[in-house]
Structure 1
Amino acid sequence: MKNILVIGSEGQLGHEIKNRSNSLQQARFSFTTFETLDVTNFDLLKNTIAKQPYDYIINCTAYTAVDKAESEAELARKINTEAIRVIGETAAQTQAKVIHVSTDYVFDGTNYRPYIEEDKTAPNTVYGQTKLEGEQLLLQSHSKSIILRTSWLYSSHGNNFVKTMIRLGKERDALNVIYDQVGSPTYAGDLAQAILHIIASDLSGSQAFQPGIYHYSNEGVASWYDFTLAIHQAMGISCQIHPIESKDYPTPAPRPHYSVLNKAKIKKIYQLQIPYWKDSLTKCLAELKS
């Protein structure tokens, strides 16, 4: 029986991994939340990882308040950077394999084609910078680590764009939504399934754990405007949606205009079939309705 530690199980992704953990019958899972494991308490974090020999560590915790991070840089760095250094260094000592989730915000969003893993990083937000520094420290830790960059994550659990648009659509007659930022909405359930697939492949011997950086998002491309229209259409919401430009909705942290990720690497190595974003949205909305 293999031991797996999931850090940050109260978030969208951690919640989805927990829901699917029974599918990995040859593993015993331990789940922590920020209440049971404050990752800014580095001694506690180190001791939690070291006290039991974990075979795999899945890190789902992150400081994700993109705008707030601009004024809370120190806290964002503790969670997104320094905690990842501790996880990596401790995992290297205990021989645990790490799967860590990162973000499309490590790029500046000025590309014209889907980003590959080797593309130059150039974050222009505190959130993106701290996530990139976390990636770099994890790679330098000499732990066996997989970094999964993803984008536009949502689920039926927690706070996210999908649930916000449903609420606002029911409360208001009209909404202004940005149309000049493009990416791939990603259902956290699909990302959770991909993570468990990577571990299952390693355990079965069908595909050994291959450390490195990978990109994962749902297939297809949409703007926030397209995404909102699809959400409202599926939920039968009749709110009027007006497309606006980013300049008409200024935020403390600039958003990348282009966040599409190339998934060829993870699909080839791990033989993954990645669902189309609209199909996964339908699945998530069915969960919300029930």
Structure 2
Amino acid sequence: MASKITLRLANRSPKQPIKKLPPSIEVPANITIEDIKALIARKTGFSDHNRIGLFDPSTKKTLKNRKAEIGNEQAVVSTGELLVKDLGPQIAWKTVFLFEYFGPILFHLAVVALRPHLYAGAASTPLSRTQQLGLALFVGHFVKREYETLFVHRFSAATMPARNIFKNCFFYWTFSGALCAWEIYAPWSRAAAADGHDTSQLLAAVGTAIYLFGEVSNAVVHLNLAGLRSPGGTERKVPRGYGFSLVTCPNYMFEILSWVGVIIALQSWSTAVFIFFGAAQMYVWAKGKERAYRKEFPDTYKKKRFVLLPGLL
């Protein structure tokens, strides 16, 4: 392999070209995709190299592994060409996650604090013990997710388009935040009337136990997944261990189980709406991960019949 290679640069989107894109660059064969992005960013005047997208000239697909050496990208080396695109303003994945999960915490605390002003008669009907439990379950879940975002998760992609933060936050802020808080803390909710009823108290205990099992199991899987990738790395390995013998994505499975516990404990229809749509999206993601694992590790990955819920999906 030559110590240096010359690559022609072409705009991936001719209708939206990078105006100062140089016609070619000469780089070491062992330079990484991320370093090439930084080099092109300097030459084109971009302050953030994450805006630079690099694409395979044959498949037109993005070169996702930012730590991969360009000399190992066969299509790029054989054609001597790279496709380049301005991806627009970027935002860190970690920042997006922090914003997503902060919204529900804010909504639940705000609705509880403003409850006397939001509901007729709420001033004379304080939160029931079951409603207080609901506050603890929701805030506890999203505080856990914030902690995992800061200290556990290792992201293969550094950034995403900044405009997507609004789309990503909308679901969490609207459904698990505004909708669930509005229903659960209302004086007319089933959680409000649960105190003093033996059946409701039993449901609250059973639901809380399921919730705690789901949350702890979800955390164990997240720690397992984080251990598959080195700090700052982008490598992928076959996931094994707790839950992976059952489904492709046990972290999703245990999260759904956790929310089933919340539904039972609070007898909450809004939580059921939230996790119904959430599970539908998780199913799409899980199917994609199963396809990716089978393609990337055809000889070592044990194919799963179910990607999300054993015996169902």
TM > 0.5 fold call: no
- Normalising by structure 1, we get a TM-score of 0.24
Name the TM-score, length of structure 2 as normaliser.
0.23
**Larger proportion of helix:** 2
More contact order relative to length (CA 8 Å, sep ≥ 6): 1
**Structure index of larger Rg:** 2
